[in-house]
Copies of this chain bind each other. A is one copy, B any other.
Amino acid sequence: MTELAVHRTAIPGLLVIDLDVRGDNRGWFKENWQRAKLTALGLPDFGPVQNNVSYNAAAGVTRGVHAEPWDKLVSVATGRIFGAWVDLRPGETFGAVVTREIGPETAVYVPRGVGNAFQTLEPGTAYSYLVNDHWSLAAKDSYTFVNAADETLAIDWPIPLDRCELSDADKAHPRLADAVPMRPRPT
């Protein structure tokens, strides 16, 4: 059992959350998001309207790097991932990278304009996240993507990408030099 805590990272607004996971004879239980407790600890009151789940059959499935025009709270329901986050907002920290291995005991708050990516480290990994705006296929053209294999970012993927399962879309994303910076959420 860990105490619920919220930590800053090298990317402004990107927060790492230690969750309180309670084990017993059945398995475990966690509050994956709890508005009152987490806003008291400094998480934005981000108002999710959508919960997405992706199931990743094998170790080495890699998704991203995607920055969409909304905030995300990402987490692992079961399994383990190597997460990578890239600041794609214009400014001094453009291109900054944070990486971290996470399992069910950690969540990450990814503000709008920060690219999100992960690679599964175990087969059968279920990835779950909350977002505060509705996705649409039509709007997809306006999102900012960067290639997970970008040489400048030099993300240290545990499993080399040429042995990984990626979508065709993710294989085709531009290098950092060609990525279009995304403005942060207006305040």
Binding site for B on A (CB under 8 A): 24-37, 48-58, 61, 63, 75, 77-78, 104, 124, 126, 128, 130, 134-135, 165-167
Contact = CB atoms under 8 A, between A and B. Distances in A.
User: What does DSSP make chain A's interface, helix, strand, loop or mixed?
Assistant: strand
B31 A50 contact: yes
A57 B167 contact: no
B36 A134 contact: yes
A63 B128 contact: no
A34 B134 contact: yes
Contact of A57 (B27, B32, B48, B63): B27
Contacts of A77: 53, 55, 77-78, 126, 128
A106 to B, nearest CB: 13
